A and B are shown apart, each in its own frame.
Chain A
Amino acid sequence: MNFRDMTLLEYINSEDRVFFLPDMATNGLKFLNCKSYDVYTSPQKQLELATKMNQEFESDFIYSFCDGAIFCETLGLELLKPDYDFPSVMSHPVRTLEDVQKLKVPDPYSDGRMPTNLQSLGLIANNIDKPLYVSIQGPFTLAVQLAGATHLLRSIIRNPEYVLALLEFTTETVLRYATAVNKVGAMYISISEPGTVTLSPKNFEKYVVPRVNRIFDALTCWKGMHICGDTSHFLDLMLSCNLHAVSLDQIMDYNVVAPKIPKDKVLIGNLDPIELVGRSSPEKIQSVTQTFCEDMRPYNNFLCALGCNCLNDTPDENLRAAIQTARGFSKQ
């Protein structure tokens, strides 16, 4: 059976070994000797990069050069654009309800660099026969980028009307783009919501759950969510969303987390991308990964991955050590 006909859970159990989902992005720029925006602006480069990454660090998914700033760039926000790293938002101009009302939901097929991205993803999906994994910024995190974290979190108490209006806009923006990404061949879309980690369970339930569900409901692919940091206080709420997988930060103890995950949902993670994969030796990585996979052996809903983005200068042999050890681990 082809992976396209499988659920995520079936896919990761289609062989007697642990599967690995990488998200390494900037580590590949050196192979192509190009800068971030060289890749962002060229579907061909995206394909080249994905192909190269698949050769150098063969895993169970393919992926494009991660584009977390696509929405903000399309909406015209000022960006810091390092040559060899992801862009960051420099200002947060959407401060009032009036500002929100002036915003127009971008059309992924015509606005900004979105069509280029769709083209890139389609190329990758059609040329490499592995599930295409795409991480897309979630509506709350996009709202954080537009409004600024402090202002948005303050407004949750002081100006909920503005927050709801902004989230309505961001949800629609993400939904349209994610649907388009789904259509061009993405097999697994992960909604990335790091901006929600500061929320109370009550606010997570109120502001995050219904909106990501709206997006998930519109998607036909595998659906997951990733949140950085300590998510123990609202993990149950994450799991209550209409998703197939959750991916958590390396600070979460998977020996504690894994028993809490329903058997029909995939738990993704969470090798330490910094101390372990970034700064230690291949031998150490092999040993830790081996132990980790051993710990996760009872859980057939486990998909090995890094807890978060890895360091730009992570040695290639370290990345290979992590991926190969996990993928070589027999579940029997």
Chain B
Amino acid sequence: MSFDFYVVDSSYKHVVGEPQPSVPYILSKKSVLKNEEFGIQLLIYSTDSFFVHTNKSLNLSWRGLIDNLRIQISATAISEACEIDISQYFSANLIETVQDDNGKWISDIISDSLGLDCHHKEQAVYVAVKFPKEIEFSSCKLVITVHHSQGYQSESAIFEQEIPIEIIEYSLEEIVDSNFYMDLWQHPCNWARAYNLPYYQDAHFDLIEKYFVELQKIGQRVCDLIISDFPWAGQRCYQVMENHNNLFEFNIIGVSKDHDGKICCDFSALDRYIQLAEKYRMADEINLFGILGNWDARDFGNPLVDYADPIRIQYKDARTGQYAYFTTRSEVLEYLRIVFDHLDELGIWEKTLIMSDEPANINLFEAAIQLIDEAADGRKIQLKCAIHDQKFFDKYSHHIQSLSLNTCEVANNIASMDSLKEKVAENNGTLTWYSCCFPTPMNIFLKSPLIESRLIGWFTSYLNMHGFLRWSFGIWPQNVFESASYKPEKWAAGDMFFVYPSKNGAPLSSLRLKNMLFGLQDFILLEKAKNAFGREWLEGKLSTLFGEKSEIKFVPEREISMSHSLEWKDYANFKDEIIRKLLTRQKHLETISSAIINMDEENIISLIDEALSNNIPAFDIYNEGLSEGMLKVTELFDERQFFVSEVIVCADTLYKGVKYLQENYPITSSSGPKIVLAVVEGDLHEIGKNVVKIMFEAAGFRVIDMGQNVSAQEIVDTALAENADVIGLSTMMTTTMPKMEEVIKLLKQVPNHPKVIIGGGCINPNYAKTIGADGYSPNAVDAVKLVKKLVEV
């Protein structure tokens, strides 16, 4: 029995029976950023079946003493001439295959099994790592070893590859902290059924939480609430007998009618779902499903006799003790009023959008809006649509706050993407794109090139859109581990899921999901490059990878044509170029920032000039160099490593740099909140106020410094004339404290007046409360925190 081994990138798609990877796909070294997750694959090919495991000790197949491979991962870093074991950052998982529509077995499931029998004679292993931001090494050495044993023979290493890894001194932010807008729809009833759990009971919520953990990793922003029964009518799942799938989703709200026939709602599950979503930071937006543009009235029917949109709502009737459906529009209206009131009471109405999945009938849509508007009772309703119909798009898209366009619609409207984005942004909406069962390119099917999952982030950046939407995160046919194929004539295998239902409840990730995650990390870099080097530069580069935007064409009925590269190396090379450019930029900005901390007034101008000559925009120098340095000074002051002397001299350096930039370059002045600072009348102590001023300027506030010994009337007049957000008053003397109260008394005569904070040696929180100030701060650093809270920055 013989083996072949290959180490390849995570985007390499392994299909059982297809040729072994060729040279371009072989990975011999790797670069990674701090806090960037990455994965590589070890592919094992043999001439016979074998058992493979990742245990640290002995493991055995149920088939006994057959050929046994043990995968060992070790990693070391060099520090001060010592080798340090850093294997703990690495993990190795076996990859299970899943059957595609064409019968081929594709490596996709990142398994939690410690050992697998490999009947296919081919096995992929997934090796992952994410170095924390704090790691101090700049390189390490990953060694993948495969030990072989057979029968009672001792193990022998039959494969060992050393992969040098460069750990780049650049920290990637978490996806959840990035500006990528991920919108993957949730199907909690499907998840419950995979484990035979009762809907929305404790065990179901435990399961939901495990899915939310995975969703958070990819930056999910939206919490989906399905507030009617089976809005998609199960997508006609009842017609599919083979490898069947129950696609019915149920109302998260418990509906009943009391003995008087009054509609009652039990919101306990809905509330719990929202709380859980908030915990995992995926409740930036609440989407209501099931009350607008519901599916399949024709085949699945409509219980409503006087309303065309098939809103199906079951309720328990206390008078009969039995379940029934609403049959009239008026019942739906009463129900929606109760629901909307509840959302309003929860304080989430403002971020609630009513979702419509691929609406096409404008008359129906308008009638639904009328009903929802009536139920909203004067509240502003916000709509969101996933659109795949150009006619609908042409006629109605301007009424919709948030849009998601199918890739075909993106191709159709590619020239107007920017104006569309501007339009949704005016309504605080988002513009995302989605792929579903079509088109074929840029999709996540099992048959798709694996790299296309990764390109979701890249394509989003190229389109300059907010993010990505997908109709499903996890819905599975009955025997998904045997075959992922379901309705293959419509839905290519993999269309319905990124994750698999593991035995222990936590979803098993797929290589497609991991690649999408890596692409989202790339998105963060691309956006940084866009901000740093300009959109034009970035898009020029991306056009060489994706083709010109104008060449992305809609191909009726449900396809697009585009000439994007499917070679990861092309993208990797560009990613590397971006990183190097960002590093250079970071170095310049950090040097400027350090000059502020080091009070290097003498050299600050030449450092700025150097950065400018490296094409770093003046505003970035101001924002990420000078201000950043001053913010660090603030931290040092807070930690009592710096005192007022140091802060003043650091600020001198800052002011010198800012003055130089302002005199030579049209940098936009800060657009942060505006604060008027003054020492009250009768007091000439300036130092406290001056330090506060420095801290506010460092934090991006616009500061109007009125100096010391300023009368209450002058302070109020200036604050109102300047339309200030906040007034900061200081005094060191007990005898001038009453002047603060004078300012507040004058302000109270003015509607919508600025907030007032006070501070100074003799001031305390009780005094602030007594005179009606909005806040007190004992020091400059806390003053900034206080004002940020007051003006919700």
Contact = CB atoms under 8 A, between A and B. Distances in A.
A88 B686 contact: no
Contacts of A274: 734, 737, 762, 764, 767
A90 B686 CA distance: 11
A80 B733 CA distance: 14
B734 A273 contact: yes
Contact of B648 (A85, A150, A279): A150
A275 B648 contact: no
A329 interface: no
Interface stretch (A119-127, A178-186, A192-200, A255-263): A192-200
A156 B767 CA distance: 34
B709 interface: yes
Interface in B744-793: 761-762, 764, 766-767, 770, 778
Nearest to B685: A149
B684 A194 contact: no
Contact of A154 (B649, B686, B762): B649
B645 interface: yes
Interface stretch (A106-114, A284-292, A308-316, A319-327): A308-316
Nearest to A149: B687
Highest count of chain A CB atoms <10 Å: which of B682, B684, B732, B778: B684
Contacts of B416: none
A228 interface: yes
B660 interface: no
Nearest to A280: B766
Contacts of B735: 26, 85-86, 309, 311-312
Q: Which of B599, B643, B646, B652 has the largest number of chain A CB atoms within 10 A?
A: B643
B645 A156 contact: yes
Interface string B515-556: 000000000000000000000000000000000000000000
B640 interface: yes
B644 interface: yes
A65 B762 CA distance: 20
Interface residues of B, number: 30
B761 A228 contact: yes
A308 B687 contact: no
B612 to A, nearest CB: 27
A148 interface: yes
B690 interface: yes
Given A26-B735, A274-B734, A278-B734, A203 B761 contact: no
Nearest to A200: B643
A278 to B, nearest CB: 7
A23 to B, nearest CB: 11
The listed residue with most A CB atoms (<10 A of its CB), out of B686, B732, B734, B737, is B734
B737 A154 contact: no
**A interface SS class:** loop
A88 B734 contact: no
A153 interface: yes
A203 B767 contact: no
A159 to B, nearest CB: 11
B683 interface: yes
A248 to B, nearest CB: 13
A157 interface: yes
Contacts of A154: 645, 648-649, 652
A176 to B, nearest CB: 26
A148 B640 CA distance: 23
Interface string A48-91: 00000000000000000000000000000000101001101110
Nearest to B691: A198
A35 interface: no
Contacts of B682: 80, 82, 85, 88
29 contacts: A85-B682, A85-B735, A86-B735, A88-B682, A88-B684, A88-B733, A148-B686, A150-B690, A153-B644, A153-B648, A154-B652, A156-B645, A157-B599, A157-B645, A157-B646, A158-B649, A194-B732, A228-B732, A228-B761, A228-B762, A229-B761, A273-B734, A279-B767, A309-B733, A309-B734, A309-B735, A311-B735, A312-B734, A312-B735
Given A90-B684, A251-B778, 19 more contacts: A26-B735, A80-B684, A85-B682, A88-B684, A90-B709, A148-B686, A149-B687, A153-B687, A154-B648, A154-B649, A156-B645, A198-B643, A198-B644, A198-B687, A199-B644, A272-B764, A274-B767, A279-B767, A312-B735
